[in-house]
Amino acid sequence: MQQDLILLLRSLLQNALNPLLYSSIFRILTRTPNSLHHGRQLHALLILHGVCINPTLAARIAAMYSSSGDLRSASLLLHYHPCPSSLLFNSLIRGYSLRNLHIKVLSLFYSMLARSVIPDHFTFPFVLRACADLPSLLTGCAVHSLCLRRGLELDVYVGSSLINMYAKCGEVRFAHHLFEVMHVTDVSSWNALIAGYMMVGAVKVAEHMFDDMPKRNVISWTAMISGYTQNGVAGRALQLFEQMRKNCKEVKPNWVTIVSVLPACAHSAALDQGRRIHDYARILGFDSHPTVQIAIMGMYAKCGSLVEARQCFDCLPGKNKTVVAWNTMITAYASHGLGAEAISAFDDMVSSGVQPDAVSFTGLLSGCSHSGLVDRGLEFFDDMSVVYSIKPKHEHYACIVDLLSRAGKFEKALEIVNQMKIDTGPSIWGALLSASRTHRNLDVAEIAAKRLFVLEPNNSGNYVLLSNMYAEAGKWDEVKKLRAILREKGMKKIPGCSWCEIDGQAHAFFTGDKCHPQATEIYKLLEDLPVRMKAAGYSPETGFVLHDVSEEDKECNLAGHSEKLAIAFGILNTNPGATLRITKNLRICGDCHTAAKFISKIHNREIIVRDINRFHHFKDGICTCGDYW
């Protein structure tokens, strides 16, 4: 009797030491959320009882650790295992890949090869994804050759990963070639190609592919929408989103779609449409996603509604007030010319315990620059490296040079440029050139323009700006030389264009536009303006034309500037008291700036103009920029 019991106990114990049993338990734990604690206990038990952790069991334990996010334990297991299998490597590679730790994926792949473990069709898709997202074409090609040697190129998963890798690395033609060679092409390969074509600006090809697709999923639609946005075809992005929303039985937008379409609203200053998409995101429950929240804030800020942007920010739960969220607010204040508000947002961020990063300082410095806060700006520029150990990059130098040269402190600006340890880029010289125009400093203009002619040989704006300055100084020979270069290069000036959104529709106006159905009324309103301005106590200044921007032709009738046309159109077509929102593709010119101030007073309207650099809020005859832009 006792003998039997001993036998039974022994067999139980033997079974309890069976690695196969544990393998299945760990497999279950991997699929069960929040099971890290139990997994750890079980692992400890195995070690205590001296259960043999064979390669398969090790792989299962590693999979449990990496799916629970404890990648350290998983990698220790791999490190100390005498003969790790490809399964063990794969579970760890998968863990790193899911957390987008691409460099880790690649280094693990290298150590796999170094330990003579053969990668398989589970390994390659993760490794290729790392190459695609980094992106690293060279490594991708090397991995491709390994796939070929293992005969895996035509495997569905490996093949579509290869297509994705080549498309994301910008080799879209090669990706297409593989696509045609492959016998099976799944929807993800189509999507990768569409995204690839959009990335290189081949919008038409992407459209054809989208139309030809046998089956489309949410990623296909999103790739098209975000592709349109990237390529500046914002109108099409919004249209396609509407179409997707209407066909929502077939496919429903996800949070990525929302994040892709919001910049399109910002691009065409379509505030109403942005609000509708915000509502839609709320209905679908995406508005609690941190990325969506930030995209919504950014959309409001870029569509000129700082109030709504701030409301969204204030509604964020504490944990979502990350550095990215704060940066969105700081940048929004800066672009609206509210330097003091940008600074106070920065102070609030620091006192709430969030560490600023390089982007925070770009926003902060450009805020100081737009508001003429020279001393504060210089202080922050010093603090950046001394207090926060952030090395200034190009954009920071550009902001500080902009700040100093706008204030006319060219000597100090040039001193900083000469001390720069990195190459000077067009943004730095561009800031100097445009400020030298405002301050009529021909010496600095010549220094900056000469650099710009080399850095941006095809930017006509630089030539026009310098030639206008020569004209003012009466140096007609120089003017002739520059005009000749312009003609020779066949450079065209960028035409000024402004948009005004009314009832969700954007109306575009080009400089001197006369083909609009309401052209007569628009020009009549503008013609009456000088008289009314004089009556309001305004005497015209000749300095205006000097404020005029580089890109637009000075000879062109000022009354025909696109932003004036758009404002007049807005006045004629909206109810009294309604706020006007205008977007311009270039910098607003001095004459239009003054006109907008007076129109805001005479017609009692709030006018918000977003130009290429910043926002201007006109109200009661003044602008938030304080005429400093």
- Taking the least distance from each CB to Zn ion, the nearer of 34 and 542 is 542
In the complex, least distance from residue 617 CB atom to Zn ion, rounded to whole angstroms: 8
Q: Which is nearer to Zn ion, 270 or 589 (CB)?
A: 589
The least distance separating Zn ion from the CB of residue 176, rounded to whole angstroms, comes to: 46
Question: 16: helix, coil or strand?
Answer: helix
Q: Which is closer to Zn ion, CB of 265 or CB of 625?
A: 625
Q: At what angle do helices 187-199 and 218-230 cross, to 10 degrees?
A: 0
Report the DSSP beta bridge partners of residue 616. Answer: 609
Which CB, 336 or 561, lies closer to Zn ion? 561
* Site map 549..588 versus Zn ion, x via CB under 5 A: ------------x---------------------------
Q: Which is nearer to Zn ion, 337 or 430 (CB)?
A: 337
SS3 at position 444: helix
Given the complex with Zn ion, which of 171 and 551 has the nearer CB atom? 551
DSSP conformation letters of 288-342 = GSHHHHHHHHHHHHHTT-HHHHHHHHHHS-GGG--HHHHHHHHHHHHHTT-HHHH
H or E segment and range at residue 308: helix 306-315
CB of 257 to Zn ion, least distance (A): 35
Using the minimum distance from each CB to Zn ion, give the nearer residue, 289 or 593.
Answer: 593
Q: How far is the CB of 625 from Zn ion (least distance, A)?
A: 3
Residues binding Zn ion: what is the number (CB under 5 A)? 6
Q: How far apart are CA 292 and CA 275, in angstroms?
A: 13
Nearest approach, Cβ of residue 513 and Zn ion (Å): 13
Stretch that binds Zn ion, among 176-184, 355-363, 466-474, 621-629 (CB under 5 A): 621-629
Residue ranges in 236-295 that form contacts with Zn ion under rule CB under 5 A: none
Asked if 302 contacts 581 with a C-beta cutoff of 8 angstroms, the reply is no
Cα distances from 539 to residues 86, 344, 530, 532, 622, in angstroms, run 81, 37, 9, 11, 16
Between 263 and 560, CB nearer to Zn ion: 560
Beta carbon nearer to Zn ion, 289 or 584? 584
Compute the distance between CA of residue 446 and CA of residue 428 in angstroms, rounded to an integer: 14
d(CA 445, CA 470): 10
As measured in angstroms, the least distance from the Cβ of 367 to Zn ion is 15
Q: Would you call the peptide bond into 119 cis, given omega within 30 degrees of 0 as the criterion?
A: no
Nearest to Zn ion of 78, 565 (CB atom)? 565
Region from 62-70, 193-201, 441-449, 613-621 binding Zn ion, contact rule CB under 5 A: 613-621
Binding of Zn ion by 616 (CB under 5 A): yes
- 64-102 burial: b if 16+ Cβ within 10 Å, else e: bbbbbebbebbbebbeebeebbbbbbbbbbbbbbeeebb
The SS3 call for residue 552 is coil
3-class state of residue 574 by DSSP:
coil
User: Could you tell me the smallest distance in angstroms from the CB atom of residue 613 to Zn ion?
Assistant: 10
Closer residue to Zn ion, CB minimum distance, 285 or 626: 626
Q: In whole angstroms, what is the distance from residue 343 CA to residue 366 CA?
A: 11
Q: Work out the angle between the directed axes of helices 203-212 and 187-199 (0-180°, nearest 10).
A: 160
CB of 370 to Zn ion, least distance (A): 10
The helix (run of H) or strand (run of E) holding residue 52 is none
Q: CB under 5 A: which stretch of 277-285, 459-467, 513-521, 616-624 binds Zn ion?
A: 616-624
Over the window 382 to 401, marking each residue x when it contacts Zn ion by CB under 5 A and - when it does not, the resulting string is --------------------
CA 565/CA 581 separation, integer angstroms: 13
586-605: which residues touch Zn ion (CB under 5 A)?
A: 589, 592
Min separation Cβ 304 and Zn ion, Å = 13
Q: Which stretch binds Zn ion (CB under 5 A): 57-65, 264-272, 568-576, 617-625?
A: 617-625
* Residue 558 C-beta: closest distance to Zn ion, Å: 6
Q: What is the 3-state secondary structure (H, E, C) of 81-110?
A: CCCCCHHHHHHHHHHHHHCCCHHHHHHHHH
Handedness of CA 293, 294, 295, 300 (dihedral sign): positive
Binding mask 121-150 for Zn ion (x = CB under 5 A): ------------------------------
Contact set with Zn ion (CB under 5 A):
561, 589, 592, 616, 623, 625
